[in-house]
Amino acid sequence: MNILFSVLDCLKILFQAFRYGIVNIPIDSSGSIAIKALGLLNPFFIINRKIPHGLRIRNFLESLGPMFIKFGQLLSTRTDAISIDIASHLKGLTDQCTPFSTKLAKEIIEESLQIKINNVFDEFEDVPLAAASLAQVHRAKLKSTSEKVVIKVLRPGIHKQVRRNVRVMKAGGFLINLFYKESHRLKLKDVISDYEKTIYKELDLKVEAANTTVTKKNFSDSNLLFIPKVFWDHTAVNVLTLEEIDGIACTDIHAMDELGIDRKTLAENGVKIFLDQVFRDNFFHADMHPGNIFVSKINVAQPSYIAIDCAIVGSLSRDDQYNLARMLQATLKQDYYKLSELFIGAGWVSSQTNKADLEQTLRATCEPIFEKPLSEIEFGNLLLYLFDSTRQFGLSVQPSLILLQKTLIHIEGMGREIYADLDFWGLAEPYLDQWIEKQFSPLKLKEFLKDNQYEILDKASSLPGEIFNLLDNIKFIANDGKKNIDLIKSLEASLQNQRKWQNLTILTLIGIIMILMGTMLA
């Protein structure tokens, strides 16, 4: 039965691909007149021929329903796989859906939490506060504490629907890769895999609850960002209960002015929140669109934000975090040689890339933008252009880095809507300089040694023996290299690992000496 449904879904998708001119996109891009003539075989060609490719893809995804709309929203962030033009059209996709039955919502809550609604809640609003593709939200009031809460409930049968749609997407991706020779540029396998991981995380509301709790702890000593409390006793895989918030939509400038909120400070605080999440906490809210961000009505002289929906979060590896900071710093200083070195060294582009060519491309991308005053340059969009221009060099970045770039665009766009003269650069440059300097401070090294002391000692003690083993193996393969190709490759990998730990051992010794000197001087 599952196979039959998948076949029917594939046939529907194929029809819609013809209907919205998706099949004509690769044909339109061909330089061959004969191949372009094949596009005339599509009976819907005339209707779609003047519609931009990005708008065709958007209309196509909207025709397939909420799950594919969500896929389109994710795809809009993957500027390593699609062009800026297509991404800009996909950003217009919205995730608003018709609510499902309140009776069903109550049944899911009672079954998931093993409760009776009337025993736990004094009030429960039947009309949903909001409804999206995966869940809907109801207001309620707890009997035990009289606290006002909101309850997020997953749609009935959503797990089955998502699994079915993911199967169809994988089948579609396989067929596109099979018949379209330029499909490798789209990175369909990576994009679909990224979507699958993201969507399955969103189907477990306990993951969202945990993310919310972590973000709340990270800002527990800050007045910049408020995160609602999670009621864990009333939270399960299908149900999430949070304290109700009272804020102003971050797009409601009129309401902010009526309350006397300092919009300049508010916009600058948004940038500080972003930088703290990425560099201080290395745990950032990756879905900060205006529907998830509100402005607090409390303390209007020192305004702050309220964030909800922490289902999608991101974090970077230590290397990516450091490389990102240096990349932003090099871009701010317009050092294109250093920028090209970073792109190659970080593995974001092919290691075979010609550095001079990459430097020239980066300069050609950035210089026209830097003609504007710094306060008018949107850094998120600059990153977008940088990633887009380097696709020709085999751009390959981690999904978390793409999520971060999308978050930056939201934060910067929202900040400039609140205060048009927001100077992102003026706030970011001193922050990044200070953060990079801090990474090499003795205190940071001491913290690293303390956190990794046992692993360092273990590796350091075993290092001499492993080096002798390597030397023995080199003597063995010297007699007949051709018969030992696999062993040679294994040794290459081992040597790489040893080099890493050799450097770490040297750093360790330096650190120990510094700590001893500090102790003696104290």
Separation of alpha carbons 422 and 377, rounded Å: 10
Classify burial at 161, counting beta carbons within 10 Å of its beta carbon; exposed 0-12, middle 13-18, buried 19 or more.
Answer: middle
Task: Give me the catalytic one of 287, 309, 320, 423.
Answer: 287
Pairing outcome for strands 305-307 and 225-226: parallel
CA distances from 374 to 204, 211, 259, 329, 421 (A): 42, 34, 30, 14, 10
Q: Which residues contact 212 (CB under 8 A, 6 or more apart)?
A: 227, 228, 230, 242, 310
Which contacts qualify for 402-405: CB closer than 8 Å, 24 or more apart?
402/77, 402/78, 402/79, 402/80, 403/77, 403/286, 403/312, 403/314, 404/278, 404/284, 404/286, 404/314, 404/316, 404/324, 405/77, 405/79, 405/380
333: number of Cβ within 10 Å: 11
CA distance 62 to 69: 6
Asked about 458 being catalytic, the answer comes back as: no
Q: 294 forms bridges with which residues in the sheet?
A: 249, 306
Going by C-beta distance under 8 Å and a sequence separation of 6 or more, which residues neighbour residue 129? 136, 137, 138, 139, 150
Residue 349 in contact with residue 358, Cβ under 8 Å?
yes
Give the residue numbers annotated as catalytic, written as ranges: 287
